[in-house]
Structure 1
Amino acid sequence: MTGDEQDLAAAQRAHWQNTYVAHPGMYGEEPSAPGVHAAAAFRAAGARDVLELGSGHGRDALYFAREGFTVQATDFSATGLEQLRRAALAEGTAGRVTTTVCDVRDALRMPDASVDAVFAHMLLCMALSTGEIRALVGEVRRVLRPGGTFVYTVRHTGDAHYGTGTAHGDDIYEHGGFAVHFFPRALVDSLAEGWNLDEVHAFEEGELPRRLWRVTQTLPPSPGSERRV
């Protein structure tokens, strides 16, 4: 990581931490539309345990728990995860949710082939370099069991904010303190090499509106293996 990348990463960690302090539960209690889709996809694949990357204050992690999954929720904001834990206790799902503070620029602190499914809503399009994104997807591949499902969403280069605001290079642009790595379609396709790319679904969310892709991809099963049912 270069000095400029380190500075940007540190600034984004501080910005998100301060944002969760100032706006507890900022995304509300209802799950995101991609989270609802992911739960259905995970259930159809026979998944039981889910790793969520960039869970924030936990609206989707809590939804997965209510749907019966065991959830490992990660974020680099300790404040967001504390809000998640309090909400899980309040609604009675704390027994199905664990939280870990982590920066996805580092290796995931999980064993190989240890989860059935991974979910990341707009985590991959944070202030991560293309190299860091590729390394992260490699880590997702490592921790997924054969046949496992990965659902992620990213803002793409068709978004109105692409190419505007403060440019940080590598298709990263900053607006209002939030830095976003906008994805070209070629990056989505390259991240799916060695996977089964099941779907790239275009959708809009929030104000502006933000334009995103919801990507669903699965690991091929090991020869002769069968998924748990």
Structure 2
Amino acid sequence: MRHHDDDLVGVQREHWQRTYGAHPGMYGQEPSAPAVHAAEIFHANGAKDVLELGAGHGRDALYFAREGFTVHATDFSAVGLEQLKHAAKAQGLTERVTTAVHDVREPLRLPDASVDAVYAHMLLCMALSTQEIHALVRDVRRVLRPGGVFVYTVRHTGDAHYGTGTPRGEDIYEHGGFAVHFFPRHLVDSLAEDWALDEVHAFEEGELPRRLWRVTQTAAS
């Protein structure tokens, strides 16, 4: 499917490839705070396997593997995933981690009801149209087993960068080469239709700081 600006998405892909190439392990080796929280939720829910969307160089995927989960990590940057694979080998986690280059504007290449949990840290707020985001969340619902949990984070319209930079339509603004789709609250609510919306938690990250929501929702049993 190609609902949004192919040129913008192509530029974003190349930008991330260059960025990961120039700055290996750019986010460090420690897991993000949302990943630590998500692991607790996944353990409490009895999850065994986790699909991570937008895994990048893998700091969160590797943390999930160290926590005992089997992890399938996807990203549209082959460079980032190569770094993840090398790190998994160095940490003795190759049996727990698989990777696949994947553009989330395309259907997930997984069977229906095949994973226990899905995690995405700032993936949904990349250069995706609202229609593409809805399609992705429907596909996440498809691959989750009944009662499975989806934890994702997004920058929202209360962020300092919202409304600044180069506008790309649909609440998407580009700063320093990175395009961000800032989420209004009604978008979060609409994505949770036919789910149980367990939590929308506001938090901050980074030096700006970035203002985000951590969203937890559960597929109907």
Shift of 1:158: 0.1
Deviation >6 Å, runs of 4+: none
CA distance in 2, matches of 1:148, 1:182: 26
Query: What is the rounded CA distance, in whole Å, between the counterparts of 1:129 and 1:18 in structure 2?
Result: 23
Q: Map of 1:126-165 to 2, 5 A cutoff? A: 126-165=126-165
State the superposition RMSD in angstroms.
0.7
* Partner of residue 226, structure 1: none
| C-alpha distance in 2 between matches for 1:6 and 1:93 | 35
The equivalent of 1:175 in structure 2 is 175
1:56 aligned residue? 56
Secondary structure, aligned partner of 1:94: coil
Q: CA deviation at 1:79?
A: 0.5
| Aligned ranges 1:111-130 → 2 under 5 Å | 111-130=111-130
Superposition deviation, residue 141 in structure 1: 0.3
Hey, what does 2:96 align to over in structure 1?
96
5+ residue gaps, structure 2? none
Count residues with an aligned counterpart. 220
Q: Which residue of 2 aligns with 1:207?
A: 207
Gaps of 5+ in 1: 222-229
Residue 207 of structure 1: CA displacement? 1.4
1:31-50 → structure 2 map (5 Å cutoff): 31-50=31-50
TM-score where L is the length of structure 2: 0.99
The percentage of aligned residue pairs carrying the same residue is: 78
Structure 2 residue 5 is the aligned partner of structure 1 residue 25: no
- Which residue does the alignment assign to 1:65? 65
> What SS class does the counterpart of residue 188 from structure 1 fall into?
helix
Amino acid in structure 1 at the alignment position of 2:196: N
